[in-house]
Amino acid sequence: MIPAPFEGPEKKLEILLTTPQSRLRPNRDGRWHRVSRASQAAIISSISNASLDAYLLSESSLFVWEDRILMITCGSTTPLDAIPEIMALSGPGNVAMVFYERKNFLFPENQPSDFETDAAVMEGYFPGRSYRFGPANADHVHVFISSPSPGLPEQDVTFQILMSHLPSTVAERYTADNGQNAVRTLQEDILNLYPGMEFDSHLFSPFGTSMNGIRDANYLTVHVTPQREGSYTSFETNVIADDYSDTTDLMVSLFKPQRFSIVLTSSMDGSCLPLHDNIGSWIPGYTITERSLNQFDCGYAMTFLNCIQADSP
């Protein structure tokens, strides 16, 4: 039997808590191993500082603060199956907001569920609303948002670049045999934009790379799936910048995707909303084919862009 191709695009589950819990983070009892196993992933390694713990998983990443949990998983993982474990740790009455995001997949027939099924599961835990950004017949993301409690944090931003169809000359750098140099270069380039980041990375055999970075309460994460039949790379950070043009330029110049999506999610306070106006005005060599903005009634806004190489057919 020919193995199914690996699915790089991720599912993302983020749970914000009403009240921070100092007892949430410790993993001495293996709690975050249980959470990871429930989603069909496993912890490979971790780094920590005073503000958060960052776990590299066999399929992407897990981040834990005292006031939120963020799980990003690729492949055929099932992060929603981890919700009971997470709720047992955080308390079901302590949830301020839940955010679930799922990109369109390259091989949807290999997934254990579709978004409609996932949304129904989410609705069973957290009443909310579902949205789609981007056209159904092109790159898009599905989003489910629940906000049962008021008083969400100000100045909260997540910036994502979701890149697909990498050239083979780029993808072949991220293999177990010769990927160390590529990862080192990636870290050095990121440090120029995000100084002070501490990194944890892993090269998978025969190919694939995951990397987490942390600095104070900030994180960034990069995941590279270089397989020829479905090459994909994602970048994500919660670092608040004046704009993200330098980050976009760096990621696009390193990975040279044929097409990519940008997702900017932020609280709607006065300091973050202007970021949405600046997104997408600085992508040389690419054509923006889709742009949408939605302001949710929970106090957050999301901008979504699709970009394709200008010389692509």
Q: Which residues are catalytic?
A: 7, 10, 60, 74, 210, 223
Q: Amino acid letter at 286?
A: Y
Encoding tokens for residue 312? 């692509």
Query: Could you tell me the sign of the dihedral formed by the alpha carbons of 189, 193, 195, 201, in that order?
Result: negative
Among all chains, which residue has been given the structure tokens 């704009």? 243
SS3 content of the chain, % helix, strand, coil (to 5): 25, 35, 40
- Rounded distance, CA 293 to CA 291, Å? 7
Whether the Cβ atoms of residue 236 and residue 263 lie closer than 8 Å to each other: no
Encoding tokens for residue 184? 């080192």
What ranges in 194-283 are assigned the alpha helix state H? 245-255, 273-278
